[in-house]
Amino acid sequence: MSSTTVPPLRTRKPTGVIPWPIVLIEGEEKAGKSWVAAQFTGSDKTGQAYWLELGEDTADEYANVPGSDYLLIEHNGSYRDILGQIEAVHAEAKRAAAAKEKPVVLVIDSGSMLWRMLVNWTNERARRTPKNQAKLRQDPDAEIKPAMNLWNDAADRWQRVMYLVRTMPGIVILLARGKEVAAVDGRGEPIPGTKDWRVEAHKSLAFDATVWVRLRREEPAQIVGARSLKFEVPRNGTPKTMPDFSIERLVFGLMGCSIHNQPKAAPELSGDLAQLWLPKVHKAAEQGVDDLKKLWRQVEADKDLSRDEVLVVRAAIERKAAEVKNPKRFSDPTSDDVARLRAAAAEQHDQDSEAPGDFEELPPDEFATA
């Protein structure tokens, strides 16, 4: 008979509060997507608004939209920096929510360009593989199809952004490009005389949105879908028309959101608790060995981790510590980058020779990995 202790059941009554929404606004070019987003940033029902511009060129000019009031987020164009800036907004939104302030607003312009960046990254990685490099030497115009593992990496990067979007304790406005295209059958062949609509972004974008709005140049705004008990969108595939559309009217009118109804933040889902520590390991490695030492001790102090999970995190810390002490060399032995790396490695070696081991404060068995 198993002697495993059954954990106590933890429950609570649902609050019935309405969460801050993720508003997807997609549509044709020049249909006013950025304009309505800029207009919303000046709402007296919201707090500080932040505008994350990705591959577009409207954010500076749209500060002239009547009523607009937002701060433009600066980034260097890399995925890591973009993700870091979204994390920073996420942290500020949590602070504002805890202080019972008006909700933070994040505008991402656009999700289409974020996904395009990841698609380009995937295609470039595929072209760099030894097999495809040989293929391109034979035919520079050869078709290169990325392997599934590369697409999985792109999808994982997309989902890291969307996790922050989904758990943002504020309002997120996601802009995307949409257009009418020829409908295709199951074999990918066009269906004569039939049209379809395509949103240019990852296929899961519509699932993550709380409400999905479509803008077209010559028609009133349409609500394609909504997760709301306050109003319904017809289930026959016909969008709900909304004349005189504004995001403020949608969020605080139709959806019934209120600053007095802030929901509890949902915990992050993970296969095990070790998974939640791995991003901390990467961040600590960026700061150096000393931060990895601190993290090593924090892992031991976390009573919620099982022994196996502790070993997994420690193994990740050890790998990162080794990478920090012995950075990978570039192929060009004369480059300035290699010279700097060699100098840094020599300096680290000198420091190590004057001090005990990296994790000297821990007993010998703590070096074991799973």
Backbone angles phi, psi at 332, to 5 degrees: -90, 105
**Quick one: pLDDT at residue 57?**
81
Q: Note whether 319 and 186 are same-domain residues.
A: no
d(C-alpha 180, C-alpha 252), whole Å = 30
d(C-alpha 257, C-alpha 264), whole Å = 14
5: left (phi over 0), alpha (psi -120 to 50) or beta: beta
**Quick one: pLDDT at residue 275?**
81
Q: Note whether 175 and 94 are same-domain residues.
A: yes
Q: Where are the alpha helices (DSSP H) in the chain?
A: 33-40, 79-98, 111-128, 130-138, 148-166, 205-208, 247-248, 273-287, 289-301, 307-325, 336-353
Q: Which of 254, 287, 302 is the last residue of a domain?
A: 254
Q: Which of 225, 254, 283 is the last residue of a domain?
A: 254
DSSP type of residue 250: I
Q: Note whether 209 and 284 are same-domain residues.
A: no
* Residue 327 placed within a domain: yes
Sequence-distant (6+) residues with CB within 8 A of 112 are 175, 176, 177, 199, 200, 201
Q: Note whether 290 and 344 are same-domain residues.
A: yes
Number of H-type helices and E-type strands within the chain:
11, 9
DSSP-derived 3-state class of residue 59: coil
**Quick one: pLDDT at residue 234?**
78
Taking only the tens of pLDDT, the chain with its 370 residues reads 556 788 899 999 988 888 899 999 999 988 899 999 999 999 999 999 999 999 878 899 999 999 999 999 999 999 999 999 999 999 999 999 989 899 999 999 989 999 999 999 999 999 999 999 999 999 999 999 999 999 999 999 999 999 999 999 999 999 999 988 877 777 777 788 777 888 889 999 989 999 999 999 889 999 999 998 888 887 777 888 999 899 999 999 999 998 776 666 667 677 778 888 888 898 888 888 888 988 988 988 888 888 888 888 888 899 888 888 877 654 444 344 445 555 555 555 454 444 444 443 333 343 333 3
Give the total number of structural domains in the chain. Answer: 2
**Quick one: pLDDT at residue 328?**
60
Sequence-distant (6+) residues with CB within 8 A of 178 are 26, 27, 28, 197, 198, 199, 200, 214
The structure's pTM equals: 0.75
**Quick one: pLDDT at residue 179?**
85
Q: Note whether 151 and 188 are same-domain residues.
A: yes
d(C-alpha 275, C-alpha 277), whole Å = 5
DSSP-derived 3-state class of residue 221: strand
Q: Which of 224, 254, 284 is the last residue of a domain?
A: 254
Q: Note whether 228 and 317 are same-domain residues.
A: no
| Residues paired with residue 213 on neighbouring β-strands, in sequence order | 25, 223
Q: Note whether 30 and 122 are same-domain residues.
A: yes
Q: What is the CATH number of the domain that holds 92?
A: 3.40.50.300
Domain limits for position 357: 273-367
